[in-house]
């Protein structure tokens, strides 16, 4: 505990010293992070292979590339983000001017997740640095090689008095949560998020929670064969491509009309074989299950006899290498754990409906998801999904790609989390937007004359309702007041 408190004390002193507030420090750290990525790309990819078995292409796409793009964008835009934003002030306060000034929150604690142990660690750090904060990063101990890489490499590139990495398991996390922070950013499960919020509440610390949930995909009947094949390719990529289904925004299940299910299943099989291999022994381009505990958790979902009976493809497991074959299930029981808990693995249930519009009611009967994916060319259905469902994000005719769009906020709603980040939204998440109003001494009304008070009330009311009309009335009223003062 003493070591953790000493570390917090150092980064707090650094923040109070003021050097992190300047644009020069922020840009220097962002450039140093880009240098870290460029000079250690091979080490990062190897660490990801050892921790999760990620293919080099997947490792670059979902980890190195994501962070590089985010840091480059922040480096280019941070001065603009820092600039005070003009605020329109009611003319009843004339002459006056207002602004919104973004100031850093202070010392930020970031908990990273194991499934994307590089990008989900460094992407929030980019936002915290851009906003001028000092940072303590806690990588996940479930990805030990990546955690060790971050702990050993970050001090060589970034300001070691302002940005620190602390490794450890549950005991270290508990020690960190006992201390007072100016912001906590957490990526992980709802169960742990509840502990984070409980600890943060003791110090009234603001939190951002990036959680998960059962992200549904709605597949409408697509009459065009080419459109259908593209849709299924994107479903296969969105389900198994990111960490073999171990992704908070990964596809959890598919909703489809009953008569369309056989076509969907055959196409899913076709593209699974093309992308990943024909059977358990020839699988490639797939990450493995992160550890024994999670392997057993996912495997247990299939051990329910009522669930096992619905498997239409896959289902094989390699316990020694912690690999589970991409598996398709048709209409597993809705009250089974596979349909009530986030799967976070390579299992894909298909749920059939009489009419695709029933998907809206199905989704709304469950907790709000982090993402909804809908494949349709029906504009009326799109509008109904948009207006009648609630989710962290909504993507039409693709999956996952919203995560890498820096111009869009990323975050959840309800049980899928709250708060948002990416791009300017990351800067805002780690900033306090302070209202600043400058008033002049030139004009001051005093309630000296009862008849004048009645008139003043009238034009002040108008000034609030109609700014420009109010300005004219205000100036006319002031002129009358000055004349009255002179006569007195």
Model pLDDT for residues 327-368, shown as the tens digit of each residue: 999 999 999 999 999 999 999 999 999 999 999 999 999 999
CB 421 within 8 Å of CB 127: yes
Quote the mean pLDDT of the chain: 91
| Overall average pLDDT of the 254-258 stretch | 97
Indicate the Cα dihedral angle 253, 257, 262, 267, nearest 10°.
Answer: -60
What's the CA gap between 45 and 50, in Å, rounded? 9
What's the CA gap between 195 and 93, in Å, rounded? 46
| Overall average pLDDT of the 201-205 stretch | 96
Total count of residues recorded for the chain? 488
CB 346 within 8 Å of CB 324: yes
Q: What is the pLDDT of residue 482?
A: 55
Confidence tier at 441 by pLDDT (50, 70, 90): confident
Q: What is the pLDDT of residue 464?
A: 58
CB 427 within 8 Å of CB 81: yes
Between residues 5 and 43, the one the model is more confident about:
43
Confidence tier at 169 by pLDDT (50, 70, 90): very high
pLDDT above 70 for 303 = yes
CATH topology classification for 1-211+421-434: Aldehyde Dehydrogenase; Chain A, domain 1 (3.40.605)
Model pLDDT for residues 239-248, shown as the tens digit of each residue: 999 999 999 9
Please name the helix (run of DSSP H) or strand (run of DSSP E) that holds residue 418, with its range, or none.
strand 417-418
Tell the burial category of 197 from Cβ atoms under 10 Å away from its Cβ (0-12, 13-18, 19+).
middle
Residue 102 C-beta-side C-alpha neighbours within 13 Å = 24
Neighbours of 398 (CB within 10 A): 16
Q: What is the pLDDT of residue 469?
A: 54
Angle at 393 (CA atoms; ends 388, 399), nearest 5 degrees:
110
Query: Which residue do the tokens 């057993």 mark?
Result: 296
| Overall average pLDDT of the 164-176 stretch | 94
CB 203 within 8 Å of CB 176: no
Model pLDDT for residues 355-366, shown as the tens digit of each residue: 999 999 999 999
Q: What is the pLDDT of residue 94?
A: 80
Q: What is the pLDDT of residue 459?
A: 58
> Collapsing DSSP states into helix, strand and coil, what is residue 191?
helix
Between residues 373 and 452, the one the model is more confident about:
373
CB 254 within 8 Å of CB 264: yes
Sheet holding 431-439, edge to edge: 85-87, 96-104, 431-439
Query: Which residue do the tokens 């709603």 mark?
Result: 413
> Collapsing DSSP states into helix, strand and coil, what is residue 460?
helix
- Among residues 475, 479, 482, which one has the least CA distance to residue 91? 475
- What are 132's two structure tokens? 């001028």
- What are 189's two structure tokens? 């499960």
Strands (E) in 292-384, as ranges, are 311-313, 317-318, 323-324, 327-330, 347-353, 371-375
CATH topology classification for 216-411: Aldehyde Dehydrogenase; Chain A, domain 2 (3.40.309)
Model pLDDT for residues 183-193, shown as the tens digit of each residue: 999 999 999 99
Confidence tier at 479 by pLDDT (50, 70, 90): low
Confidence tier at 478 by pLDDT (50, 70, 90): low
CB 149 within 8 Å of CB 43: yes
In which region does residue 247 sit, left (phi positive, over 0), alpha (psi from -120 to 50) or beta (all else)? beta
Confidence tier at 298 by pLDDT (50, 70, 90): very high
Sheet holding 163-165, edge to edge: 163-165, 134-138, 107-111, 183-187, 207-210, 417-418
Neighbours of 440 (CB within 10 A): 11
- What are 98's two structure tokens? 């207002």
Q: What is the pLDDT of residue 477?
A: 60
Looking at the annotation, which residues are catalytic?
Answer: 210, 248
Indicate the Cα dihedral angle 109, 115, 120, 122, nearest 10°.
Answer: 90
- What are 369's two structure tokens? 């998801």
**φ, ψ for residue 292, nearest 5 deg:** -60, -40
> Collapsing DSSP states into helix, strand and coil, what is residue 239?
helix
> Collapsing DSSP states into helix, strand and coil, what is residue 398?
coil
Indicate the Cα dihedral angle 386, 358, 361, 359, nearest 10°.
Answer: -60
pLDDT above 60 for 150 = yes
Tell the burial category of 194 from Cβ atoms under 10 Å away from its Cβ (0-12, 13-18, 19+).
exposed
Peptide linkage before 156 cis (omega within 30 of 0)? no
DSSP 425-453: HHHHHTEEEEEEEEE-SS-------HHHH
For the chain, the domains span 1-211+421-434, 216-411, 455-481
């Amino acid at each position: 505990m003493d070591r953790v408190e000493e570390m917090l004390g150092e980064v707090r002193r650094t923040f109070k010293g003021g050097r992190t507030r300047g644009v020069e420090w922020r840009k220097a750290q962002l450039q140093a992070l880009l240098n870290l990525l460029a000079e250690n790309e091979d080490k990062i990819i190897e660490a990801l292979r050892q921790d999760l078995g990620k293919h080099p292409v997947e490792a670059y796409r979902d980890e190195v590339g994501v962070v590089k793009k985010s840091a480059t964008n922040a480096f280019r835009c941070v001065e603009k983000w820092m600039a005070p934003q003009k605020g329109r002030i009611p003319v009843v306060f004339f002459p006056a001017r207002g602004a919104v000034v973004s100031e850093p929150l202070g010392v930020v604690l970031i908990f990273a997740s194991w499934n994307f142990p590089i990008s989900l660690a460094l992407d929030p750090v980019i936002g915290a640095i851009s906003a001028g904060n000092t940072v303590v990063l806690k990588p996940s101990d479930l990805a030990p090689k990546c955690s060790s890489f971050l702990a050993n490499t970050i001090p060589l590139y970034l300001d070691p008095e302002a940005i620190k990495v602390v490794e450890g398991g549950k005991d270290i996390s508990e020690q960190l949560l006992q201390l007072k922070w100016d912001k906590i950013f957490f990526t992980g499960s709802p169960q742990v998020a509840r502990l984070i919020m409980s600890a943060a509440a003791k110090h009234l610390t603001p939190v951002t929670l990036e959680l998960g949930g059962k992200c549904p995909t709605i597949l409408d009947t697509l009459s065009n064969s080419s459109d259908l094949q593209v849709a299924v390719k994107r479903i296969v990529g969105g389900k198994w491509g990111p960490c073999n289904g171990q992704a908070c925004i990964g596809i959890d299940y598919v909703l489809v009309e009953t008569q369309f299910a056989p076509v969907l299943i055959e196409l899913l099989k076709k593209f699974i074989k093309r992308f990943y291999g024909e059977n358990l022994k020839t699988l490639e381009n797939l990450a493995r299950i992160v550890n024994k505990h999670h392997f057993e958790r996912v495997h247990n979902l299939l051990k329910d006899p009522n669930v096992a009976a619905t498997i239409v493809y896959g289902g094989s497991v390699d316990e020694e290498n912690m690999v589970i074959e991409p598996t398709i299930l048709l209409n597993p029981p809705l009250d089974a754990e596979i349909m009530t808990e986030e799967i976070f693995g390579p299992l894909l249930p298909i749920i059939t409906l009489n009419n695709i519009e029933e998907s809206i009611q199905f989704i709304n009967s469950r907790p709000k998801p982090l993402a909804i994916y809908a494949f349709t060319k029906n504009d009326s259905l799109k509008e109904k999904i948009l207006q009648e469902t609630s989710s962290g994000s909504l993507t039409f005719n693709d999956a996952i790609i919203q995560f890498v769009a820096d111009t869009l906020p990323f975050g959840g709603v309800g049980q899928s989390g709250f708060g948002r980040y990416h791009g300017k939204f990351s800067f805002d998440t780690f900033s306090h937007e302070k209202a600043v109003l400058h008033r002049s001494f030139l004009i001051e009304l005093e309630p000296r004359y009862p008849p004048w008070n009645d008139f003043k009330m009238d034009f002040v009311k108008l000034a609030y309702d109609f700014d420009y009309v109010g300005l004219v009335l205000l100036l006319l009223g002031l002129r009358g007041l000055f004349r009255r003062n002179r006569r007195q």
